[in-house]
Amino acid sequence: MPPKLADQSAAVRIFDEIGFGDWFHCFTGVVEIPGGIGPLVPRVSGLTGAGLSTVMVLAAATQAFVLGAPGLASFPLVLAMLLVWMASRRRDTIVAVSQLLSR
């Protein structure tokens, strides 16, 4: 279970520092579940990579600018680069999902 859903004290403290509180740390935990499963499902893996890369860039920005720890922002940025690579390799699935949704 993601730490954000398990209500771990460190996660709660960090989200309190950010200023969003309980609702946002629960929302983040809910987003992490399909984010963890999505790369394993070929049909949505590209879309998952694109979405999670956005989340990682925002996490890095929060780490650097809100929490004042720019040195810790490198890890989510490396993950974001890997996720962008995954999304680019699976861009055909992004197009297929967008065509399916536009019907």
| CB contact at 8 A, 58 and 83 | no
Using the predicted structure, report yes or no on whether residue 9 has a pLDDT greater than 80: no
Which pLDDT value is given to residue 20? Answer: 78
Q: How far lies 20's CA from each of 10, 37, 54, 87, in Å?
A: 14, 26, 18, 29
Question: 45-76 pLDDT, tens per residue?
Answer: 999 999 999 999 999 999 999 989 999 999 99
How far apart CA 19 and CA 27 sit, in angstroms, is 14
Which pLDDT value is given to residue 26? Answer: 82
64/9: higher pLDDT: 64
Which pLDDT value is given to residue 52? Answer: 92
Tokens standing for residue 75: 């890890």
